[in-house]
Amino acid sequence: MNDIAGIPYLAACFDKDGAALNKQALNLPNGTTDVIVVSHGWNNTQEQAEEFYTELFNNFAVVGSDQLQNKKVSIVGVIWPSKRFTDVVNAAVAEQSRGGGAGLRSSSTAADETIRAKLDVIATMFDKKAAKKITAAKNQIPKLESDLAARQKFVDELRSLLDDSAANEEDNSALFFKLDGAVMLEKLKMPTPVVSSGGGGGGGAASVGTRPKARQEGGAAGLGDIFSGIKAGAIRFLNYMAYYEMKKRAGTVGQKGVAPMLDRLANDVQRIHLVGHSFGCRVVTAAAAASTTDKLQSMTLLQAAFSHNGFSKSMNGFFRSVVDNHRIKGPIVLTYTPNDRAVGIAYPVASRLAGTVASAFGDANDKFGGLGRNGAQKMEPGEVVQAVDQLLAVGGGYSWQSGRFHNLESSKYIVDPNGGDAHMFVTGKEVAWVISRAMA
């Protein structure tokens, strides 16, 4: 793919360690003044990511034509290995949301099959050396309900596959690595309270089964709820394990791959604009933190899948350096909506592990809430522009403040028309419009 709606497009491909796979091929057209570097999130193959980029920037070309007239724009689409985490109980979850599927709650066989299927997918995230540990974990499945030692071994074998260097307090991953395995599964068996969706047409529980197959976002936090007991806890443990691996990978790709790329691109352009979706927000934010160029003009984070305290000084946010070091010269724009279910995958688990369960998991009062649900929280006075607080219709005016955060409640426009998870509905004209205005 050479262009999107006439805008030059180049793919920048990275492996899971951030090594560039096509470094020599990344040559911007002569005269490019502005480059948009955009990153997809979790569960996207290259084909799906580029479908996403095409939808978004086709709309950008329509609503942001003034930017294309005033600047010579190119797009660099980041492609990173974000493994798809499909779930064999998708159909059952969809059925449950319509009032059925309750019979699975008492089915130990169905729970066992689900855990094995998840482990098969998790195996694809690691090299062949992981096979022995995954087999050992599978051998514990029939004994999980009755045997504490089996629970401990199940957790320990799988947890040992992970690199704990990305563990921190923002999502309670530090405790995830310390907690006794049997205790962990006991904590995680607790059912998920209902989370209020707020306004804007948000719907019921998980969206699984309602999205087109190529764009479905898997691993919603409540998937364990069609089962009960320790095996429900084991399913949630595996969801979190997959989340953590992708979280770490996104940060690595951003820091070690995209950041050096930004510094190279800066030699040939006047301005760089960062756009991320879901876990791709972690990719571009990590890149902003690690890069050295002073040409980062704007950053737009669409339904970001990391902590709503990630930029907070008082909470020692993981990406606080982006604020303190003034990495973004223009506006920092965040969309958020309670209609987004997928963005909260880690946070119900984090709350359970801490033993501080909010009445509604993941909301703005929960220590472990997500940016894509609540916007940036616990910021210092003046760091969030209170007067700019809504995603607007095309043509609406935004009064940006340079270097400041703009939390845009987006329930009116980022919404699944079928009433499900809004997480993937970020390619519309209103979103394209806000990206184009952030560039202005």
| 354-386 pLDDT per residue, tens | 776 555 556 787 788 889 999 999 999 999 999
Q: Looking at per-residue confidence, does 89 or 80 come out higher?
A: 80
Amino acid 346: pLDDT: 64
235 & 208 share domain = yes
Domain boundary among 213, 246, 279: 246
Q: Mean pLDDT check: name the lowest of 33-37, 292-296, 341-345, 377-381.
A: 341-345
- With contact defined as beta carbons under 8 Å apart, do 186 and 147 qualify? no
pTM: 0.87
Q: Distance between CA 285 and CA 191 in Å, rounded?
A: 33
252 & 242 share domain = no
Angle 89-90-94 (CA atoms, 0-180°, nearest 5)?
A: 115
Q: Looking at per-residue confidence, does 147 or 352 come out higher?
A: 147
207 & 234 share domain = yes
209 & 288 share domain = no
16 & 135 share domain = no
The residue behind tokens 């691993």 is 219
Q: How confident is the model at residue 213 (pLDDT cuts 50, 70, 90)?
A: very low
User: pLDDT tens digits, residue range 18-76?
Assistant: 999 986 678 999 999 999 999 999 777 889 999 999 999 999 999 999 999 999 999 99
Tell me the backbone φ, ψ of residue 338, rounded to 5 degrees.
-65, -15
Contact residues for 75 (Cβ-Cβ < 8 A; gap 6+): 4, 7, 8, 9, 10, 35, 36, 38, 53, 57
305 & 427 share domain = yes
228 & 259 share domain = no
Tell me how many domains the chain contains: 2
186 & 312 share domain = no
Amino acid 291: pLDDT: 98
Element (H, E) at 183: helix 181-188
Q: Mean pLDDT check: name the lowest of 204-218, 346-360, 380-394.
A: 204-218
Could you tell me the residue range of the domain that residue 192 belongs to?
90-246
Amino acid 347: pLDDT: 66
Mean pLDDT of all residues belonging to the chain: 85
Using CB atoms within 10 Å of the CB of residue 102, give its burial: 0 to 12 exposed, 13 to 18 middle, 19+ buried.
exposed
Tokens of 405: 């955060």
Element (H, E) at 234: helix 230-252
Q: How confident is the model at residue 348 (pLDDT cuts 50, 70, 90)?
A: low
Residue 130, pLDDT > 80, answer: yes
